[in-house]
Amino acid sequence: MGPVRGFKRRKKKVERESGSSEQDASDWWDDFSKRITGPLSLSNGLDTFESVFKVSRKTFNYICSLVKEDLMGKQSSFSGTSGKVLSVNDQVAVALRRLSSGESLLTVGESFGMSHSTVSQVTWRFVESMEERGIHHLRWPNTDEEMKGIKSKFERILGLPNCCGAIDTTHVMMCLPSVDSSNNVWFDHEKSHSMVLQAIVDPDMRFRDIVTGWPGSMNDDMVLKNSGFFKLCEKGKRLNGNKIELSEGLEVREYIIGDSGFPLLPWLVTPYQGKELSDSRAEFNKRHFATRMVAQRALARLKEMWKIVQGVMWRPDKHKLPRIILVCCLLHNIVIDLEDEVQDEMPLSCQHDLGYRHHECEAFHKNTFVFRDKLSRYLSGRLPP
């Protein structure tokens, strides 16, 4: 399902009005591919559109339609080393390559025949435009029907009822000068400079809520409690939909699930900690783990497709980086919303924070212990779907 009603109809209308057809893209690609040189030369195995940009031509056209108005109004100052003014397609190609490959500004510039400063400016203009034009692709479900579909898909994984999302965090690595003491706040518990991304994911690996910009020195519990999502839930303005009645008088409210790095709350269910667990608790942890894996896979896919957030970023602007991360999340969702077949060719990994040890949170809400115990007993009495 797309993010908003009538999404596909509007997309087709935009494509017609902008003249961004498959044939146009094909003609543009024929010319653009001949200009690619150096490490990105098509003779080096990057011989298809999808291998260069990590999206299909259909998705590329749609992205161009989103940002066309903004980039056309600002394109006159951008040109390649040949002096030719960069078209909208050229600019989107540069930005997508920079974000998807994680290559340096110099490398992307050499490949596409332009200076590294042009690559930087074009990429940032693209980020600014996508923040506004693509933000509707990342939102919390706003209808009962949409949320019902999400709950149903989560329950089909391994039986968790009324679950609305899975939460996880990852670190975006940065290389910052250690001589500057102000950078110490960015040191995480693995002694690396990093920025945290917290994401809540639906069963299709679509990001439904993200928080970023906080330093890696903050643990999962702190990031969550400083988020707008936490405040909305605590005020009863989110995860406040229909409750369901199960056996033994068990009433289940809406909730999300997360690992033991998060606090146990009325609306956030975490697994049992410890090694000596009863059969029902062990069974609950098994179902809980299998269900929340969708969040780990989503973050791993994000970093695999948009490698600018996978590697170590060299002295990034810490005010711009959260906006770059947001746009990578928007692009991740667009690929899902457009049912882009490129995603089917990506390996399905769960590794997004290699080298990071897990830290457990001791915070909890006492009434949630009772709810989790009742839920675990209920699930242990059911056969796996």
Residues 146 and 117 placed together within one structural domain of the fold: no
Tens of pLDDT, residues 62-78: 999 999 999 988 555 78
Q: Enumerate the β-bridge partners of residue 262.
A: none
Tell me, yes or no, whether 226 lies in a domain. Answer: yes
Tell me, yes or no, whether 1 lies in a domain. Answer: no
Residues 177 and 287 placed together within one structural domain of the fold: yes
Determine contact, residues 291/166, Cβ cutoff 8 Å: yes
Tell me, yes or no, whether 150 lies in a domain. Answer: yes
Total count of domains within the chain:
2
Write down the pLDDT at residue 15: 44
Tell me, yes or no, whether 2 lies in a domain. Answer: no
Region 256-272 average pLDDT? 96
Could you write out the three-class secondary structure of the chain? CCCCCCHHHHHHHHHHHHCCCHHHHHHHHHHHHHHCCHHHCHHHCCCCHHHHHCCCHHHHHHHHHHHHHHHHCCHHHCECCCCCECCHHHHHHHHHHHHHHCCCHHHHHHHHCCCHHHHHHHHHHHHHHHHHHCHHHCCCCCCHHHHHHHHHHHHHHHCCCCEEEEEEEEEEEEECCCCCHHHHHHECCCCCEEEEEEEEECCCCCEEEEEEEEECCCCHHHHHHCCHHHHHHHCCCCCCCCCEECHHHCEECCEEECCCCCCEECCEECCCCCCCCCHHHHHHHHHHHHHHHHHHHHHHHHHHHCHHHCCCEECCCCCCHHHHHHHHHHHHHHHHHCCCHHHHHCCCCCCCCCCCCCCCCCCECHHHHHHHHHHHHHHHCCCCC
Whole-angstrom distance between the N-terminal and C-terminal Cα of the chain? 24
Residue 84: give the domain boundaries.
7-133
Write down the pLDDT at residue 101: 93
Alpha-carbon gap, residue 250 to 269, rounded angstroms: 15
Tell me, yes or no, whether 321 lies in a domain. Answer: yes
Name the domain boundary from 101, 133, 165: 133
Name the domain boundary from 133, 164, 186: 133
Tell me, yes or no, whether 368 lies in a domain. Answer: yes
Cα torsion for 209, 213, 218, 224, to the nearest 10°? -20
The residue type found at 192 is: S
Residues 210 and 122 placed together within one structural domain of the fold: no
Tell me, yes or no, whether 236 lies in a domain. Answer: yes
CB atoms under 10 Å from CB of 16, counted, come to 11
Residues 173 and 301 placed together within one structural domain of the fold: yes
Residues 23 and 78 placed together within one structural domain of the fold: yes
CB atoms under 10 Å from CB of 278, counted, come to 13
Distances (CA, A) of 25 to 10, 59, 87, 261, 341: 19, 11, 12, 46, 17
pLDDT bin (cut points 50, 70, 90) of residue 374 is confident
* Range from 105-109, 303-307, 324-328, 357-361 carrying the lowest mean pLDDT: 357-361
Residues 77 and 160 placed together within one structural domain of the fold: no
Task: Label the pairing between strands 268-269 and 313-314.
Answer: unpaired
Residues 144 and 110 placed together within one structural domain of the fold: no
Determine contact, residues 209/232, Cβ cutoff 8 Å: no
pTM above 0.85, yes or no: yes
147 pLDDT higher than 80: yes
Alpha-carbon gap, residue 80 to 266, rounded angstroms: 56
| Entry field: residues in the chain | 385
Region 354-372 average pLDDT? 79
Alpha-carbon gap, residue 186 to 318, rounded angstroms: 10
Tell me, yes or no, whether 66 lies in a domain. Answer: yes
Determine contact, residues 333/138, Cβ cutoff 8 Å: yes
Residues 165 and 92 placed together within one structural domain of the fold: no
Of 329, 255, 330, the residue nearest 299 (C-alpha): 329
Determine contact, residues 350/296, Cβ cutoff 8 Å: yes
Tens of pLDDT, residues 9-66: 444 444 444 444 454 666 888 888 887 876 665 545 555 788 889 999 999 999 999 9
Residues 222 and 78 placed together within one structural domain of the fold: no
Buried-exposed string 81-113: b where 16+ CB fall within 10 A, e elsewhere? eeeeebbbbbbbbbbbbbbbbbbebebbbbbbb
Residues 109 and 188 placed together within one structural domain of the fold: no
pLDDT bin (cut points 50, 70, 90) of residue 214 is very high
pLDDT bin (cut points 50, 70, 90) of residue 128 is very high
Q: Which two tokens stand for residue 256?
A: 């999300």
Residues 337 and 250 placed together within one structural domain of the fold: yes
For residue 362, what are the contacts with CB-CB under 8 A and spacing of at least 6? Answer: none
Name the domain boundary from 82, 107, 133: 133
Residues 273 and 356 placed together within one structural domain of the fold: yes
* Range from 67-76, 89-98, 298-307, 322-331 carrying the lowest mean pLDDT: 67-76
Write down the pLDDT at residue 46: 52
